[in-house]
Structure 1
């Protein structure tokens, strides 16, 4: 694999407080560095949670709750079944599920058995699924029955030892039968499929529960996850995340957040982003396990009316999401009836949070959006705002403990604070490399061992980091750099705009032209109105040359706007 080891201490830089200006802005009780002696495995974290919090709720789904003690039993049954099927330490097991009750039990079951988890987006096409299963070499696949038809199409091209069919109602008790009935016959969410050799999840659990799993000596340097990048900037690659990488990030997040959690120990995290996404996996699934919190699993966050009803019936203290989700919730009927009085924070990541969305969210809930930043390759969190901010800051905050960042020029030179360049990261959360891609690993690692994020950033004098944009999304207009995030943020402030995406398209006069795709709140809004609004807020060359109104924007399955898809659409139209 040619893994590149990650380190948390850069001699002469990390140890020099003067080179880490963010430390003086840390809350008093947050350490500069985590205690790396505590970095063990995710299995250690899980087993400690089972011992310390057996009777606390660990997961809630469709109104049913599961304690840590029961989660432990179900995870052990999964581990035992996998071992009985011949799973060896290090074998890859794919999980193709949304946020259903079975997900955490399967996740920890794979890890307890000594396996490596391959998180798979359940909305993948057969082509995408085939690629990821082949690339990872997964031997087993747990899939929700709703997506089994996709697996059926992929089977002729892949080699799997076993497919396990999960239902939305698994582990929900009597309520599970109702959930499955609605899914299959009311919503008709299960397409016809034929997988005659597939094993029902209930049958696998029953078989696995007959014996305890064999103990496996899992070490911090063993691979916990192959976390595939979204493929929005090229071919999807599996980021190799060792147990030590992910545990380090859990400890970093805990160190950053714990001072703000207060005395209460019954936290409930709204887990709306899918657990196959690295942000939800670490910040919701694993951090909540570490502190004995409960995950409120939202199986379909796109069902905004249903989501709001769930929130109305729940006591919530923590929330994670991203810009498009907060925007949709803030405008949803009934959101004013949700009790946000006990909420400690609402954190956002995955894409840039727009000021207009943050303002609307605070107007509705009384809570600011706390923006953070991370990537699959960094397990994921690199930076986060302080949790005690009063208002949205427009930055991604400060590097977490044991994390160092620099901004570099195209030739790799470290730039002074205040100058724009590529954000580079060093810390114990940085991946070991890309799975079987030493060439791709080399492209994202500097010669002195820093991970190149591909994002343009500025480190402000006080140590805050501000993301300007993706390097590949930058638009070059007559030699001037235009960053889509900035233009999108301005457009989103117009009171008649719901959301917007900005791209650059070839232009014979200026090299590239700025083009905006906009979803309106009110059809009365015209392109001329919006262009005039932009002229009032942007330098002339940043104003969109063309504005196109849409009913919706293309997004990834976690809600991130796909600028690439808009570009491809235009290119295909021109090729006809």
Structure 2
């Protein structure tokens, strides 16, 4: 059977989900943006820190922002602008304002170190940046190595109204001392940009589907951070693909979505920002989702229809008594992404809310959505669901063959209108990432059944090799997460002279009564002997990324340092002469 004829997932689409969608409804993101602003002018677009902004007000600000860029900064279509902002109203204003000016947006994590910021700004050739004052000191340090034409600085309260905004800015800077000293003499205040921009004419640029909209940075399937070139069509296509899957349970002009994942992350950028903007939705922006008590208070007043998040966020919410006691009468869609949703977390979520977490799968290079669990699933199945409409996927074996039988792992490859043009300025990396028209994801997957559901087995880089046997950390984590006294768990491979690698798990406990032997007993019940963790360590807190994903790289580094293991020039551990641990862990 030919590759392009193998589409078992199409039989699993609900009756109201089409196998193909029209990805050319709009010619550019500008068209989509203007469509929603004209259709929903008086609807609230964003809420942040108790302040709201309608689609009409957002459009006025975004056009002023764009006019300033065009008339004062003299930007041209295709110029790059970096946005170094958390989830506050200034982000969508700057984002849509930049796109309206025909610019390419480079999203930057505000928590970056100066060296990380230098790399991204230099690699993207960004001409200017919008930065929140809380992290302007990082930019100041980065400017010792690079130069920018223009800098716009905003304070966290700049979109909270005149009086409240001033009070917020004073409290943040002088009371909480969250704005370290910085000196950027040529920087222009965000409020000045909007005030002066309103006096200039706005000229709509000619933007087509194939023009770049974003340089979205990612580690890719391998190597250092690279800019995935995402076109207007890539994002627009993914919006329509998402609506193809989720649309039947969504209502135009009546959606209230919680945006706890940073909008500079591609998951929230496409789903929370673009999809719900297309629907005229209202988005509750959460600047720091790590503050669970504050988030729960916001939820009570918002009463959402949709919640997107990652495994750790769902786990933290379901551990919160106030959240569990909350009656979220409008909530009808819960989407999980960014990392695998663990079985124990999903089961507790369903028990308390009556809703399943619809796990999705994507990657930056695919704008990002590739597959999702359909809206009509009746139970947790441990899969990432089925490919979204207008998407082709294959699973390719090490010998190059296309795998069609369930249960046999291989590398997942994707083809569709959401797949990036390539990596910016990196032709070799781009060639190595593509297999003909298919993008190689770097993820090991298998068909979970003959109906096209896909199970992610593991990232290639996270695979543990024990005495020649492949051990997949997610399988171990899923088992351990079932224990009621386990809050969080992560499994990694550690060097072993006897078996090449051994399994070690890190666990954050809910109850200190949990012991190593209890964990091993549970694992022996569900796992083959070589998969049972040899080492178990209880820790107080997991290292996490800005969106809440557990940083296994940090856990490995911590482990190697404790064991006195050196890394070679490729960052790989040098195998010790003797096994450096015992069955009781470290």
TM-score of the aligned structures, taking structure 1 as reference length: 0.95
Structure 1 position 275 matched with structure 2 position 263: yes
Structure 1 position 304 matched with structure 2 position 270: no
- Corresponding residue of 2:477: 488
- Corresponding residue of 2:233: 244
The answer on whether the counterparts of 1:369 and 1:391 sit within 8 Å (CA) in structure 2 is no
Assess, with a 3 A threshold, how the Cα gap between structure 1 residues 185 and 137 changes in structure 2: closer, same or farther.
Answer: same
- Corresponding residue of 1:329: 317
Measured in 1, the distance between the counterparts of 2:221 and 2:552 equals 9
- Corresponding residue of 1:421: 410
Per-residue deviation, residues 482-531 of structure 1 (Å, max 9, x unmatched): 00011111111111111011111111111110111111111222222211
The answer on whether the counterparts of 1:91 and 1:138 sit within 8 Å (CA) in structure 2 is yes
SS in 2 for 1:238: strand
Measured in 2, the distance between the counterparts of 1:411 and 1:79 equals 51
- Corresponding residue of 1:215: 204
Assess, with a 3 A threshold, how the Cα gap between structure 1 residues 156 and 193 changes in structure 2: closer, same or farther.
Answer: same
- Corresponding residue of 1:359: 347
- Corresponding residue of 1:4: none
Count residues in correspondence.
561
Structure 1 position 378 matched with structure 2 position 381: no
Structure 1 position 160 matched with structure 2 position 160: no
316-325 or 381-390, which deviates more: 381-390
Measured in 2, the distance between the counterparts of 1:136 and 1:490 equals 42
- Corresponding residue of 1:24: 11
- Corresponding residue of 1:463: 452
Structure 1 position 101 matched with structure 2 position 89: yes
- Corresponding residue of 1:509: 498
Measured in 2, the distance between the counterparts of 1:493 and 1:212 equals 59
- Corresponding residue of 2:244: 255
Measured in 2, the distance between the counterparts of 1:164 and 1:572 equals 41
- Corresponding residue of 1:197: 186
Deviation of 1:225 after TM superposition, in Å, equals 0.4
467-476 or 163-172, which deviates more: 163-172
Query: 1:45 aligned to 32, 57, 62, which one?
Result: 32
Measured in 2, the distance between the counterparts of 1:307 and 1:202 equals 28
Measured in 2, the distance between the counterparts of 1:234 and 1:334 equals 42
Gaps of 5+ in 2: 567-586
The answer on whether the counterparts of 2:221 and 2:441 sit within 8 Å (CA) in structure 1 is no
Structure 1 position 60 matched with structure 2 position 47: yes
Measured in 2, the distance between the counterparts of 1:510 and 1:12 equals 40
SS in 1 for 2:321: coil
Measured in 2, the distance between the counterparts of 1:160 and 1:333 equals 48
Per-residue deviation, residues 275-294 of structure 1 (Å, max 9, x unmatched): 00000000000001111111
Query: 2:60 aligned to 54, 73, 85, which one?
Result: 73
Deviation of 1:570 after TM superposition, in Å, equals 2.6
Measured in 2, the distance between the counterparts of 1:30 and 1:466 equals 21
- Corresponding residue of 2:20: 33
Deviation of 1:234 after TM superposition, in Å, equals 2.9
The answer on whether the counterparts of 1:39 and 1:248 sit within 8 Å (CA) in structure 2 is no
- Corresponding residue of 1:402: 390
The answer on whether the counterparts of 2:23 and 2:233 sit within 8 Å (CA) in structure 1 is no
Structure 1 position 572 matched with structure 2 position 572: no
SS in 1 for 2:442: strand
381-390 or 298-307, which deviates more: 381-390
Query: 2:524 aligned to 532, 535, 548, which one?
Result: 535
Measured in 2, the distance between the counterparts of 1:488 and 1:441 equals 33
Gaps of 5+ in 1: 1-10
Structure 1 position 476 matched with structure 2 position 465: yes
37-46 or 194-203, which deviates more: 37-46
Structure 1 position 126 matched with structure 2 position 114: yes
Assess, with a 3 A threshold, how the Cα gap between structure 1 residues 525 and 337 changes in structure 2: closer, same or farther.
Answer: closer
The answer on whether the counterparts of 2:230 and 2:420 sit within 8 Å (CA) in structure 1 is yes
- Corresponding residue of 2:507: 518
- Corresponding residue of 1:317: 305
SS in 1 for 2:526: coil
The answer on whether the counterparts of 1:76 and 1:212 sit within 8 Å (CA) in structure 2 is no
- Corresponding residue of 1:345: 333
- Corresponding residue of 1:8: none
The answer on whether the counterparts of 2:14 and 2:376 sit within 8 Å (CA) in structure 1 is no
Q: Comparing both chains, which one has the higher relative contact order based on Cα–Cα distances under 8 Å and sequence gaps of 6 or more? A: 1
SS in 2 for 1:123: coil
- Corresponding residue of 2:133: 145
Per-residue deviation, residues 43-75 of structure 1 (Å, max 9, x unmatched): 110011111111111111112111111111111
Deviation of 1:398 after TM superposition, in Å, equals 0.8
Per-residue deviation, residues 503-560 of structure 1 (Å, max 9, x unmatched): 1111111111011111111122222221122111211000111011111111111111
The answer on whether the counterparts of 2:23 and 2:240 sit within 8 Å (CA) in structure 1 is no
- Corresponding residue of 1:291: 279
SS in 1 for 2:10: helix
The answer on whether the counterparts of 1:228 and 1:237 sit within 8 Å (CA) in structure 2 is yes
- Corresponding residue of 2:584: none
